[in-house]
């Protein structure tokens, strides 16, 4: 196993795309071996810029990502994309959608695109995405793009992995309201009104701009609202400029460092919770805790019993 690690790590560091795909699959499966792999490549990860793109289903995130990739590729950047697929972990419908939407880059080895199912992760989605980004970073992808649908708590957690978060909305009725409800207003660094070619775009632009002025922004950064039409690339140049400016600003102000430290803290917490739960499950399965549950439970207070089991066995199980 150790050899396999060393070999995989070496291929990863050399930028081998198949090794990268395999390592990301391991991360997605929550394979504990990933920890060892990441330890080996640690010195090489941590420098990539992570840009998140989120927004309602069908708002044009993938089309926009495709355009961003086009610009960044022309600057010579190597890119890794993780598209979190909310809708179809079984059929792969949207996975295909993402691939098709970004297909222009399918034969470009400078672009690595990977879809990740949002469901069936037991809360490990953010951890899987974080590991995937680190792996792409180690494999020499200096720019990582994260696409998620801004719906649930787990997608919000995923977005916290990004240095710069782009929130996409469209003139489709209700989108702006949806965004606020979903609580992603807080995490937005740049707002996009996509599908600017459709009626109502100007109205949503004004609403969003007023909302942002009222509720967001610090002395150094007021999130800009940018109109784009991803299908025709209109406004994309401006969006690239805004992402760049935000990146430069947070690097210079120390905000980037603060975000990364906060992220590490959250990551350690998540690992502790994930591992503690796993140890408890194992102990319940394998007997140390199981005995407690095999007695007469008719009159038992479940909370008291759970406490007794935890107090008696967690340390032992952790040992």
CB 15 within 8 A of CB 139: yes
- Shortest spacing between CB 28 and Mg ion, in angstroms: 18
Nearer to ligand GTP, 4 or 198 (CB): 198
49, 54, 59, 62: residue in contact with Mg ion (rule CB under 5 A): 62
How distant is the alpha carbon of residue 238 from its chain centre? 24
12, 26, 54, 60: residue in contact with ligand GTP (rule CB under 6 A): 60
Nearest-CA neighbor of 243 among 205, 184, 204, 188? 188
- Shortest spacing between CB 104 and Mg ion, in angstroms: 14
CB 81 within 8 A of CB 133: no
Q: Is 114 one of the binding residues for ligand GTP (CB under 6 A)?
A: no
Nearer to ligand GTP, 233 or 310 (CB): 233
- Shortest spacing between CB 235 and ligand GTP, in angstroms: 9
**Where does this chain touch ligand GTP (CB under 6 A) — which range of 129-137, 219-227, 229-237, 287-295?**
229-237
Q: Which string of DSSP letters, residue by residue, matches 148-201?
A: EES-SHHHHHHHTT-SEEEEEE-SSTTHHHHHHHTT-TTT-SEEEE--TTSTTH
**Where does this chain touch Mg ion (CB under 5 A) — which range of 58-66, 184-192, 266-274, 296-304?**
58-66
CB 169 within 8 A of CB 176: yes
- Shortest spacing between CB 101 and ligand GTP, in angstroms: 5
Helices (H), 31-60: 33-41
Nearest-CA neighbor of 26 among 144, 124, 95, 128? 128
**Where does this chain touch ligand GTP (CB under 6 A) — which range of 56-64, 124-132, 135-143, 306-314?**
56-64
CB 239 within 8 A of CB 166: yes
- Shortest spacing between CB 200 and ligand GTP, in angstroms: 12
Binding site for Mg ion (CB under 5 A): 61-62, 98
Binding site for ligand GTP (CB under 6 A): 57-63, 94, 97, 101, 149, 194-195, 197-198, 229-231
């Amino acid at each position: 196993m150790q050899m396999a690690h060393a070999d995989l790590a070496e291929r990863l560091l050399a930028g081998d795309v198949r090794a990268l795909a395999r390592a990301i699959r391991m991360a997605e499966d929550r394979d504990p071996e990933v920890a060892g792999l990441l330890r080996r490549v640690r010195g090489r990860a941590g420098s990539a810029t992570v840009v998140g793109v989120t927004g309602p289903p069908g708002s044009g995130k993938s089309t926009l990502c495709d355009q961003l990739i086009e610009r960044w590729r022309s600057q010579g950047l190597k890119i890794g994309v993780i598209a979190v697929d909310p809708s179809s972990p079984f059929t792969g419908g949207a996975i295909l959608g993402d691939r098709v939407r970004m297909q222009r880059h399918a034969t470009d080895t400078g672009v690595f695109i990977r879809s990740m199912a949002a469901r069936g992760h037991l809360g490990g989605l953010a951890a899987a995405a974080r590991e995937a980004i680190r792996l792409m970073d180690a494999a020499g992808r200096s720019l990582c793009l994260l696409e998620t649908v801004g719906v649930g708590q787990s997608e919000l957690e995923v977005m916290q992995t990004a240095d710069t978060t782009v929130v996409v909305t469209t003139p489709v009725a209700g989108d702006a309201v949806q965004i606020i409800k979903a609580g992603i207003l807080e995490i937005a660094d740049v707002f996009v009104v996509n599908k600017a070619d459709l009626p109502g775009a100007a109205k949503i632009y004004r609403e969003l701009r007023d909302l942002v002025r009222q509720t967001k922004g610090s002395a150094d950064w007021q999130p800009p609202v940018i109109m784009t039409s991803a299908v025709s690339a209109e406004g994309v140049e401006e969006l690239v400029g805004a992402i760049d400016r935000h990146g430069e600003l947070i690097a210079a102000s120390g905000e980037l460092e603060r975000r990364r430290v906060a992220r590490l803290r959250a990551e350690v917490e998540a690992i502790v919770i994930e591992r503690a739960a796993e140890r408890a499950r194992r102990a319940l399965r394998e007997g140390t805790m199981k005995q407690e549950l095999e007695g007469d439970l008719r009159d038992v207070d479940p909370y008291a019993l759970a406490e007794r089991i935890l107090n008696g066995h967690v340390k032992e199980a952790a040992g």
